[in-house]
Structure formats: structure tokens, C-alpha cells
Structure 1
Amino acid sequence: MHRKLFSNRSSSNDNNMLPEYAGIPIDAAVEVNMLRLKRDLGGSDDLIMREIRYEGMRAASAAVVYIDGLSNATMINQYIFDVLDYSLSNHHADNPSSVDAAVLAKKLLNGMGAISTVNEMASLYTELLSGQAIILLAGHQHAYCADIREWKGRDVTESTNQTSIRGPRESFTETLRTNTSLIRRKIKDPRLWTETVTIGKVTKTCVTLMYLNGVVKPSVLQMVRSRLSTIDIDSILDSGYIEEQIEDGKWSLFPTVYNTELPDNAAGQLLEGKVAILVEGTPNVLIVPTQLVTFFQSTEDYYQRSFYASLLRILRFGTVFISLLFPSLYIAITTFHRDMLPASLLISLAAQREGVPFPAFFEALIMEITFEILREAGLRMPRAIGQAVSVVGTLVIGQAAVEAGIVSAAMVIVVSITAISTFTLPAYSMSIPVRILRFAFMVAAGSFGLFGIIMGFFILMLHLCALRSFGEPYMSPLSPFKKQDMEDALFRLPRWLSYKRPDTSMGAGESRIRKR
């Protein structure tokens, strides 16, 4: 298939163009366009405009416009100007409009990636502010855009939020093309397709979809495209802007969009028939659809022996129940159901609480709120002292509270175990709803005892079973139960057993299709 040397971008979506400049054509006179650019950008000092003017000619024959810091200035100075000067001086200096666009394109393409053409000022501004160099020729009512974007970005380093003991150490960066390349290095398959859209009326943020064609469900892919196309917002500065716009269950505490900083994690999700959403300027990649069990799975589960990985995964599920219900169970039992405790333990707890002036509910509430304050302070303080302050603060405040008779020693133990259990979750986004629901269960336990906990848990399960993520059940494969997906849910089967394609992909249930 033959490709055109210049792709016309005048037919771009109106939502991606500057509305105040829509319909304004590019003038055939280079000086008029340069004056308009300088006026509209307020004479910004990072707007670089260089023109080619030959002796004896009143008007400029050509000009190159770019934003300093976004475009490769070396390429412009050492290559583009040489090509332009050669093309114009070769019998065209007196008539720049006679320059053959096809010939010029071939010469420029020899040293750069892509050349396109725009016919309106709105498209010109979009390309210019995206880092492309704009080439203006006298007598041409369109501009040529040279893709020589180059800006400083963070190097590929190890993730600080999702650590891995065994496995790749690389993580996504804020550069979009770096992130797509990291995934392509994992999946060398021509079926790995990408689609890029521009979202944000002001920021013009590039958002790229990545998926395995023939593996992803067409209904899921179409739903992702539809939801992205309906986003009408001025700015997209992080993937969180996108997540909040496209997620299911907008009033639910539980995230229905998974995010990761690890390329191997994203690649594994793509192999399961999911869609990755990469947003320019953020290292967090969104994965849709997702299920609840995904938030309890770590990439290390696939790099270790299945027996150890399964044990750790079951441990994570157990620690979530501890983090969610341990304080409320303590409150319910010590307040309403003391007869459930052995006599010796009951006497010990009663002796500890003898001088405590608060009931168990307020005692737990005080400690939980104090720990949440220390946790937030540790995150916001400088990294060098944040961790030390949070640890020392917890020990000092806990010991002082016990000695002052405000809380019992048993309550400090309960809150400490609960807090530590929260950190076992691989996905930070799942720990937030667990921490919030912990307070709700404490209120239910303080009001109705074990009956309140059971009713609250029942309501929680109903809510989770009703949630969906891009048309897929959130509790799958537990509810509805899907036997073929249980191979990699609560536990992970050994690799020498045949895997089957998960239900989130096309051809679900096909055997001997190994995931990851």
C-alpha cells in the first residue's frame, strides 16, 4: 500500500482543535503567518521563528517556526535549513510557490520520521505546541509539519510505588512513546495495535490505547473508545482525570479501573485480552476491564514457584479481612459478646481497660484516626525523614497513650496489626476503600455488635456483585463462578498445567494458551 508523503490533517476532530482559530486558513504570504503567530502567542520568547530571505527579494521565501525546548533545534539548524535552502536556491528563489511538495517531502523524509501538512491555523497551533517544527513556504496556503519533537524526560528507573523482588526493575515514565516502547519490548506481536486520540481542549493531551487485536473483546474495545470520545474537559494532567471520567460505579468506593507503573504487569494484562490506556505526562497506565481479584495479584506471583505464589496470594486475602474487620470484631466482642472470650483473656482485657475512660468504639476510633494522620504526614514530609517520623511517632504516641490511660495495650496491638495488614496489598488504590470501610464496620460493631458486622458484610458483597467494569462482572471469576478462570484467581496453578484463556478475552476457555 502506497502512503502519501503529506497527510492532510485539516479533517481532524473539531474537539481537538482550537475553536477560536477553526476555519482560519493559512496565508500564502510567510510574513502574514509569522505576524499572526507572534501576536497569538503573545510574543513568547520560546517561540523561535527563522526565515530564509534571498538578496534582492522583498518577501521571505520560507520560514521555520518551532518552540524552543520541544523541538530538536540541532536537526532544524543542520538539516531542515540546508534542505530548504537547496530546494529554494535551485531555480526557485524567485518563485517559491513552484517548489514541488513531493520532491521536498522526499528530501526531508530522508533525515526525519514524518512529514504532514495542515491547512488551518487551528491545526497549525496544535502541531506547533506539540513540539513539531512548522515549515512555511511563500505561495503555499498550507504548512508542513516536521516531527522532530525532543524534550527532556525522566529515565526509565525502578518503581518506588510497586516494588518487585524478582522480576524486571523498569517502570513507566512520563514520556508516552517511551511507555509504548516498553510494552512493545515485552510483546513482539504484530497484533499489538495502538490508537491515539487527543483529549483536553486546553492541554491537548495525547491518550494512546494499546490492545492485542483478535484477543480483546470487540465490545470492550468499542466501549473504551466510546467513553473516551465523550470526555469534554479542558485539561488532562494525569491518568486519574481519565479514570474518573470512564469508570463504572462512579459512586462506589472500589476502583473499577486498574492502574500500574510496571510494563510487565501491563503486558500480562494485555495478554489476557484487556486494554491499556497510556496518558502523556504520567507513569500510571490504566488497564480495563478489571476484576477485584486483580488488585490482590502481584507480578512476582508469576516469577516464583506456584506453591509459594499461591500461599502469598491467599495470605493477602486473609490480611484484607484482618485490615477490614479486626477492629470491629474487637469492639463487638468486648462490648456485646464478652461470653465468647476465654475467662483468662476476658480478665486480662478487663484489667487493661480498668482505667480507660472511653468505650471500646471511641478507643479504637481515636487510635485509627491518629494512625491515619501519622500515615498521611509520613507521605507528605520529605522522604529522608518522613518514614522515621511516622514510625517513631506511632511508637511514642502509642506508648504514651497507654501510660496515660487513654487506650488499652490490647487496642494498640489491634490497631498496629490492622495497619500492617493494609500494606500487604500490591495495589495502593485498593487499600483506600479498605481503610474507609474499616470505619463503617467499626460504627456497625459499636451499634449492633456481630449482627451489625454480618449485615454490613452482606451489603458489601451485594454491592461488589452488582459492580461491573466495562461490561465485565467485577467479582469474576468468583461471582459468577467461572471454573476456567479459577486457575489464576485465589491461587495460581503450576505452569506445567495447561492454562486457558480468561473470560475477559476472545475465545475464552481455549486450552493451552499460556498467560504471561
Structure 2
Amino acid sequence: MSFFKKKSRKSTSINDQMELPQKNLDSSALHENLERNLATFKDLYGNSSDLVIRKIKFGEDKKLQIGMIYLDGLVDRQMMDDLLDAFMFQMKDSQVTLDSLDKDDVATLLKNTSIPIAETTELYQLQDMESAILCGGAILLIDGVTSGLKINVSGWKERGVTESSTENVVRGPKESFTETLRTNTSLVRRKIKDSSLRIEELQVGKITKTDIAIVHIEGITNEKIVEEVRSRIKRIEIDSILESSYIEELIEDETYTPFPTLYNTERPDVIAAGLLEGRVAIFVDGTPFVLLAPALFTQFFQSAEDYYQRWDIATLLRMLRVLAFFVSLLGPSLYIALINFHQEMLPTTLLIDLAAQREGVPFPAVIEALLMEVTLEILREAGLRLPKAIGQTVSIVGALVIGQTAVEAGIVSATMVIVVSITAISNFILPSFSMGISIRILRFGFIIFAATFGLYGITIGLFFLTLHLCSLRSFGVPFLTPIAPFVKEDQKDTLWRMPTWKRYTRPRLVSKQNSIRENEVTKKNSQLGQRSEG
């Protein structure tokens, strides 16, 4: 039996039913005539306005003709101007003619003596040259030569490295990923200065040809997981990949689940920590969010700042997040169950107060909860989509005004407003935005269960939720690891965090090899330090 779950996806074969426009390429190889080659490229790009073609003649008799092809906006203009200046100056003095050199030696001579850029490659196929131009390169063609030189002069505009906007920390690195693939991989290289860090690049998308990088540490990461990630990405057949969520949906183990089975982050330190634990990172060009596989349920309750604070503070914060998880999931449903079915569980004074508040409310508690939850979701979305200058003001003022007005009008009770507000605030405590969305979806289901069967309905819902979580896997690793299955060695960093010198092993089910993170000398020194302080 295979270690990984095999599955076929209809989404990966969507292009089986459609045909891409055929490109007018007479042959996969270049022609000896320069004019014919330039006309081929003009026809290939539809004579697009951003396609730049420069023809230059060199030599004593001006018989040596070359053509430079690139796309304006994808190349560094200053680098391109410097290249042409240096190229023309050196070629003027070289007095190269086709009569004194063999045709096949001209490209080598230009590459070695006249092009002051290190990343220069000789290409022979039109498809390779097309991809090089689209990636920000320039192609140099020579009349009479059936090969071209790819010169890397890419230099499009890009956003600089800034502070993370979704995973803020008080203490720790402030940098985050950008939309440029090479910048993102370099941020990880800065943190993991080891030659065993492997970066494998692929292209996915028949039209977009999006660059994707699979990153792992050789000797630490389980090779079966790396191979499974690689094979799943290679099986993708789709026209476009515009964000890492495309890849996430196409390679995840289970589609019909509210829980994310791949972890996404825009923090380089989180990716570096995941790689050191034996995970695989998936970088997608054009997005600052990087995927991490396999993902575990407990991982979504952990913040990068947990490892930059004292272990006892980090443990307390994680316990608070677990409490907030249950409050956000079960808050309104517990209130509905107690009000409708289990009034005897409430103190008499509190029950009388709640009954007095609900005396003028025309709707049952479940309708109240659904009205408030839907209103809250509308305000939340409005705050996200509106311009930043007014988004927060509208969401805060709107919530206060609507809540107060609804209570005064007798549509909802004041207690229901308090319950829904605490539930919403608890949802914001979770570090992972994707897990927070999952809880918001499940909350509506628990409200229906509570309104139908009371606490029994909530218990049934929790039972089925636990069964569902136990059935999930992330690239062959159980989603609830190391809780179910229970792994004693990995309990040092789950819902609580032990001191660093006690976390000397990597997760057992994630990394099958090189599981020791620190040597015995480091461990003994830490233990002696603890004893001497005592």
C-alpha cells in the first residue's frame, strides 16, 4: 500500500476539453536568415507594442548583422543601455567579419568577449527563446547562425521587503515575503546558510507559465513527502496559476473540508522554522504567501512570537488561543441551548434577567443569533473591502450603532449582542486567518444543532467534527498529529511549549531522519545552568 493517498482530480485535467491557440512557429529551430527569424518573433507576439527589436551591423564591411529582442517593461533599461553601449564599443574595435570566422564560432566569440553579463546562455529552440523573453531576458540573434544568446537583463518593478500585514508580532523579525520568487527564496537563504537547502523550480500554467519553487532541506525532510509534493505539482494541467491558493486547492489531500490542510504564511522565519522541522515549502511567483506541507492542526494555534518569548508566556498564550477556539466555535450555540432547553443549569437570578430581556423580542434565540452573525459577517467584509481610510471607522461605528439600535428597537436582546461580540473577538485571537474562517463556517452549523437538540446536538456535532479531523491527512501525515495518533516525544511543542533545550527532537511523523536538533553537550549545559540557578 502506498504511503500517500492517491486521488485523481477533474480540475487538473480541465484543458482536456479546450485547445489553446496555436502559435505560428514554422519550426522549433532557428533559420539562418536573420530577417526571417525576426519576422517569426514578430508574428509570435502578434507585433505587440511592447516588443522591442533592434538590428545592428558590425565589422569592416558591415556584413555581420545581429538582432536584439526583448519586451519593454520586463528588462532593466539601464542594464540594457549599458549592454548595448559596451557591446557596440567592443565590436567596433574587434573588426569581426564573417569571412575571418566560422559561423558557429561567432556566437561563442560574442559570448566570451563582447557581452559583459555573466548570465548568458546559448539557446537553439524557439520555444526556449520565447520563454526566456517572457521571463525578462533578451535574445541576441546573429545572421547566418542557427542559435541565439539569452542574456539575463530582467528588472521589472517590484515591491520591497516590508513588515507583515497579516501576522504581526511584538518581538521578532519584521520582514515578510514579496511577490518576487527570487527575493523570497533569498530571504530563506539568509536564515538557513547551509548547502543542504534545496530549491527546485518548475513552471505550471500553459498560458501564465508561473514559476514555482519546491524548497526543502536534504537530510532532514522525508524524501517521500518531497517526491509526493513534486509529483502532485507536475500533474497539474491548467491554463493559469495566479496565486498560491490555486496550487493549494489542486494538491491538497481533501477538498471537501472546512479545514486547511496546507499552511500558508508570509513570514520567512516561519518558513525557515518549518523547513528545519522537516517540512516542504512551496513558493509561487507573484504572491507573498508561501505554502508549507505537511500542515498539522496544532500548527494553526502557534504564532512565530511563541518562540521569541519565554516558554511559560508562550504556553499561556497558546492555552488562551485554545480557549478562544472553543468560545468562537460554541459561544452562540451554548447560549441558545441553555436558553431553549436547559434553563435549570442557569442560576435563578440570571435566568430571570435573561427572561426579562427577551420579553419584548419577537424572534426566538436561534433567529436572533443568525441575524447578529450574518450582520457581523457583513460588517467584517465591508471593513475589509472599503478603503483603509474609512474601512475601520465603518466597521467599528457600524457595529456599535447597529447593535445599540437593535437592542433599543427590541429586535435582539442585549445578552445576545454580548455573546456574539465575545465570539467575534475570540475569532480574532487565532494567528491563522484560514483557520479563523473555518471556525466561522462551522459556527453556523453548531447554532442549528443547538436550536434542534440543545446540548445533545452540540455533543453530536463535536463527535462528528472529531471524527472528521481524525480522517484528514496532509501529504500522508495525520492532521491531528501528535495528539491522534499520540506521540509522546512530540508533546513538547503542541498546545504548549517547553523550554528550547527540551525540544531537542524534530516531529517524528514529519521528519523520518536526522531527528536530533541539538547535541548532548548543549542539552547538558542547559540542564546544569538550570540546576545552578536553583
Under TM normalisation by the shorter chain, which class is it? Answer: over 0.9
Letter of the aligned partner of 2:426 in structure 1? S
Letter of the aligned partner of 2:502 in structure 1? L
Alignment of 1:413-424 (within 5 A): 413-424=418-429
For 1:352, the equivalent position in structure 2 comes to: 357
User: How far does residue 511 in structure 1 lie from its aligned partner after superposition?
Assistant: 6.0
For 1:5, the equivalent position in structure 2 comes to: none
Residue 201 of structure 2: SS of its match in structure 1? strand
For 2:340, the equivalent position in structure 1 comes to: 335
Residue 322 of structure 2: SS of its match in structure 1? helix
User: How far does residue 142 in structure 1 lie from its aligned partner after superposition?
Assistant: 1.5
Identical counterparts, % of pairs: 48
TM-score of the two chains, using structure 1 as the length reference: 0.92
Find the aligned partners of 1:59 and 1:341 in 2 and give their Cα distance: 98
Residue 99 of structure 1: SS of its match in structure 2? helix
Find the aligned partners of 2:292 and 2:27 in 1 and give their Cα distance: 37
Residue 134 of structure 1: SS of its match in structure 2? strand
* CA offset digits 1:138-188 (Å, max 9, x no partner): 121111101121111001110111111111111000111110111111110
For 2:113, the equivalent position in structure 1 comes to: 107
Contact 1:22 1:122 in 2 (8 A): no
TM-score of the two chains, using structure 2 as the length reference: 0.89
Letter of the aligned partner of 1:278 in structure 2? F
Letter of the aligned partner of 1:69 in structure 2? G
User: How far does residue 120 in structure 1 lie from its aligned partner after superposition?
Assistant: 2.1
- Residue of 472, 480, 485 corresponding to 1:480: 485
Letter of the aligned partner of 1:83 in structure 2? F
Find the aligned partners of 1:355 and 1:465 in 2 and give their Cα distance: 45
Alignment of 1:90-489 (within 5 A): 90-95=94-99, 97=103, 99-107=105-113, 111-489=116-494
Find the aligned partners of 2:228 and 2:106 in 1 and give their Cα distance: 44
* CA offset digits 1:327-376 (Å, max 9, x no partner): 00000110011111111111110010011111110110000000000000
User: How far does residue 66 in structure 1 lie from its aligned partner after superposition?
Assistant: 0.9
Residue 240 of structure 2: SS of its match in structure 1? coil
Contact 2:222 2:513 in 1 (8 A): no
Letter of the aligned partner of 1:82 in structure 2? A
Find the aligned partners of 2:89 and 2:71 in 1 and give their Cα distance: 21
Find the aligned partners of 1:312 and 1:452 in 2 and give their Cα distance: 30
Find the aligned partners of 2:484 and 2:242 in 1 and give their Cα distance: 36
1:42 and 2:49 equivalent? no
Task: Check 1:508–1:348 CA distance in 2 against 1; reply closer, same or farther (3 A cut).
Answer: farther
Find the aligned partners of 1:351 and 1:278 in 2 and give their Cα distance: 57
Contact 1:133 1:147 in 2 (8 A): yes
Task: Check 1:22–1:378 CA distance in 2 against 1; reply closer, same or farther (3 A cut).
Answer: farther
Contact 2:259 2:435 in 1 (8 A): yes
Residue 48 of structure 2: SS of its match in structure 1? coil
Find the aligned partners of 1:370 and 1:296 in 2 and give their Cα distance: 27
User: How far does residue 401 in structure 1 lie from its aligned partner after superposition?
Assistant: 0.6
- Residue of 27, 30, 36 corresponding to 1:26: 30
Contact 1:353 1:408 in 2 (8 A): yes
1:77 and 2:87 equivalent? no
Find the aligned partners of 1:435 and 1:442 in 2 and give their Cα distance: 11
Task: Check 1:401–1:498 CA distance in 2 against 1; reply closer, same or farther (3 A cut).
Answer: closer
Unmatched segments (≥5 aa) in structure 1: 1-14
Find the aligned partners of 1:132 and 1:244 in 2 and give their Cα distance: 31
Contact 1:67 1:129 in 2 (8 A): yes
Contact 1:22 1:120 in 2 (8 A): no
Residue 429 of structure 2: SS of its match in structure 1? coil
Letter of the aligned partner of 2:350 in structure 1? L
User: How far does residue 76 in structure 1 lie from its aligned partner after superposition?
Assistant: 2.8
Moved more, 131-140 or 412-421: 131-140
Moved more, 88-97 or 382-391: 88-97
Contact 2:91 2:114 in 1 (8 A): no
Find the aligned partners of 1:308 and 1:56 in 2 and give their Cα distance: 77
* CA offset digits 1:284-308 (Å, max 9, x no partner): 0111111011111000000000000
Task: Check 1:108–1:477 CA distance in 2 against 1; reply closer, same or farther (3 A cut).
Answer: farther
Cα RMSD (Å) of the superposition? 2.2
Find the aligned partners of 2:67 and 2:463 in 1 and give their Cα distance: 69
Q: Post-superposition, which runs of at least 4 consecutive aligned residues in structure 1 deviate over 4 A? A: 54-60
For 1:505, the equivalent position in structure 2 comes to: 511
Contact 1:238 1:282 in 2 (8 A): yes
Contact 1:19 1:122 in 2 (8 A): no
* CA offset digits 1:45-87 (Å, max 9, x no partner): 2211111124896866111111111112332332355336635
Contact 2:220 2:515 in 1 (8 A): no
Find the aligned partners of 2:318 and 2:251 in 1 and give their Cα distance: 29
Find the aligned partners of 2:333 and 2:343 in 1 and give their Cα distance: 14
